[in-house]
């Protein structure tokens, strides 16, 4: 992984908001990485952070076997900001006392600002709303510290060391519920740490292009292209670095949306002149799925077949292939090294069907592994990818197979493709596409009675799903204007044979997942 000395190091104590801290720092154009508490002070010294943020977490600092930090961390001279659990840890390591609060404080609170560097730009005595989430608090400021903010429930809501660059806040500046939290983080990044706002898409691309060229030399590189945002941006970035040493392989498994394959071919061949090999393996995939209704079996069969097809095609590229490009993103990387076996308990993300086998004799190039999804989109724009490509909703690796509940066959696929196409077309026409994280149609294995013309019909049901989300971890259903839903429903019932009923899914995640299967 490229080393960005001089960034911000975030130590993850398991807060659900740790990734949000990272995103806020990066939105300020400062590079940061999230690491587990197990990193030694020696390792941290070598990383040379400009500043360290200790995240929140679900534990009590005085509990048993809870994650902690070495006291030497506070003696390095590097600025430290403790958030919630991070502040309690800072206080405890500095000889302060952390006690269980009489009542757990969760939600909005008003704090009175007393001064200090974190609150530069705030008036003395000014009250500001913040988001609290803690069951413990610091009783009195530790030796050598003074209180810089307090609330009625937490007299010590923020602290600052008298002479060292050590700071703590008992609330979450990174969440939207703390309206001036951005200013507090900016004060830490720029006033206290002296960071430079140089983490930009342009700088990232330049650095990555240089790195890839040096790494690859004269070898050939292959990339599995799915037509999604991540693999497309990764392919175009690598192509910018090494030109025609790159070959992209696009496997058409027959489970794609309408015109998807043509769009990918046109964009990558015509617009970028990339060497693109398209493999039509739809007959094999459909053969594997015949008679299968269980979603897990569908995923497994598609995954195995994908690897076989990809491997065969990769071997045809020639003998000097040394590297394979994957569109791994930073949240996947964080998840695979979560602290202490993972206080941030996460439900495993569905890795794309691009999870390629270990036995392929190639080294991995993962040019996006330091980026969040919104950063990938910014890099795509900077590389000149068209907006309809960069702004695309996520699409699952197994494609429409997991949006047809029940058996997958050509007839069902054609039905769903038409319905889905109408749905997305109407969302775009209403100007709502970019307000939605993901929208798609689902074909249900139920028939219901309807009336079409003067006849009774006995046809299938299409479910519509649209959700808003920041990262796919939690999601709310999207409140469409009723007239948009009415238009979609009328068009699907009139234009798609075999469908006579349309329903809209109003479940949030949790308890429901975004996909139905």
488-495 contact pairs (CB < 8 A, 24+): 488/422, 488/423, 488/426, 488/427, 488/464, 491/422, 491/426, 492/418, 492/419, 492/422, 492/423, 492/441, 492/462, 493/450, 493/452, 495/418, 495/422
Compute the C-alpha angle 234/240/243, nearest 5°: 110
For residue 339, the tally of other CB atoms under 10 A from its CB is 22
For 225, residues 6+ apart whose C-beta sits below 8 A from its C-beta are 231, 232, 235, 248, 249, 250, 264, 268, 276
Give the single-character DSSP code of 189: I
DSSP, residue by residue, 311-326: HHHHHHT-TTEEEEE-
For 266, residues 6+ apart whose C-beta sits below 8 A from its C-beta are none
For residue 307, the tally of other CB atoms under 10 A from its CB is 18
Residue 41 in tokens: 């002070």
Sign of CA dihedral 381, 386, 387, 390: negative
Distance set, CA 86 to CA 11, 54, 163, 332, 358 (Å): 9, 5, 19, 24, 38
Minimal CA–CA distance to 114: which of 104, 124, 122, 105?
Answer: 124
Give the single-character DSSP code of 267: I
Residue 19 in tokens: 């990734």
Which 3 state secondary structure label does DSSP give 409?
A: coil
DSSP run (H or E) holding 134: strand 127-138
**Residues facing residue 438 across a β-bridge:** 467
Catalytic center residues: 84, 172, 174
Residue 290 in tokens: 């015949």
Express the helix, strand and coil content of the chain in percent, nearest 5 each. Answer: 35, 25, 40
Helices H, strands E: what count in the chain?
14, 18
Contact indicator for 397, 350 with CB cutoff of 8 Å: yes
Rounded Cα distance, 170 and 88, in Å = 8
Compute the C-alpha angle 358/363/367, nearest 5°: 110
């Amino acid at each position: 992984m490229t080393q960005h000395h001089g960034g911000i190091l975030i130590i993850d104590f398991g807060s659900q908001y740790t990734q949000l801290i990272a995103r806020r720092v990066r939105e300020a154009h400062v590079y940061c990485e999230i690491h587990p508490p197990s990193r030694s002070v020696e390792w941290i010294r070598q990383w040379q952070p400009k500043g360290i943020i200790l995240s929140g977490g679900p534990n009590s600092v005085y509990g048993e076997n809870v994650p902690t930090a070495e006291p030497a961390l506070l003696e390095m001279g590097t600025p430290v900001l403790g958030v919630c659990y991070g502040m309690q840890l800072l206080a405890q390591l500095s000889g302060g006392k952390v006690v269980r609060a009489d009542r757990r404080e969760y939600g909005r609170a008003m704090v009175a600002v007393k001064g200090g560097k974190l609150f530069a730009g705030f008036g003395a005595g000014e009250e500001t709303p913040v988001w609290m989430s803690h069951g413990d608090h610091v009783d009195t400021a530790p030796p050598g510290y003074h209180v810089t903010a307090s609330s009625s429930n937490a007299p010590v809501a923020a602290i600052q060391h008298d002479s060292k660059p050590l700071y703590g806040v008992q609330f979450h500046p990174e969440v939207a519920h703390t309206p001036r939290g951005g200013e507090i983080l900016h004060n830490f990044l720029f006033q206290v740490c002296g960071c430079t706002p140089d983490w930009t898409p342009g700088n990232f691309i330049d650095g990555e292009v240089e790195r890839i060229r040096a790494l690859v030399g004269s070898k050939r590189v292959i990339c599995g292209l799915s037509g999604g945002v991540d693999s497309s941006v990764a392919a175009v970035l690598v192509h910018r670095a090494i030109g025609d040493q790159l070959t992209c392989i696009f496997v058409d498994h027959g489970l794609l949306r309408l015109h998807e394959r043509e769009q990918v071919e046109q964009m990558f061949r015509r617009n970028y002149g990339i060497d693109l090999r398209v493999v039509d393996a739809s007959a094999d995939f459909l053969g594997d799925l015949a008679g299968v209704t269980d979603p897990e079996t569908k995923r497994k069969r598609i995954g195995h077949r994908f690897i076989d097809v990809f491997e065969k095609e990769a071997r045809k590229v020639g003998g000097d292939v040394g590297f394979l490009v994957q569109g791994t993103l930073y949240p996947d990387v964080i998840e695979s090294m979560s602290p202490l076996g993972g206080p941030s308990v996460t439900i495993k993300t569905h890795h794309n069907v691009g999870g390629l086998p270990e036995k392929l004799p190639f080294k991995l190039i993962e040019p996006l592994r330091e980026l969040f999804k919104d950063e990938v989109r910014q890099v795509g724009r900077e590389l000149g990818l068209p907006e309809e490509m960069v702004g695309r909703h996520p699409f699952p690796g197994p494609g429409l197979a997991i949006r047809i509940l029940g058996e997958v066959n050509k007839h069902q696929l054609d039905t769903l493709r038409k319905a889905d196409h109408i749905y997305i077309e109407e969302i775009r026409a209403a100007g709502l596409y970019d307000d939605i994280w993901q929208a798609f149609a689902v074909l249900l294995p139920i028939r219901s009675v309807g009336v079409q013309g003067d006849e009774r019909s006995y046809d299938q049901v299409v479910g519509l799903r649209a959700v808003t989300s920041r990262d796919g971890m939690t999601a709310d259903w999207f409140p469409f204007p009723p007239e948009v839903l009415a238009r979609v429903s009328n068009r699907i019932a009139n234009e798609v044979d075999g469908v006579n009923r349309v329903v809209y899914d109003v479940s949030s995640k949790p308890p429901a997942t975004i996909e139905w299967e």
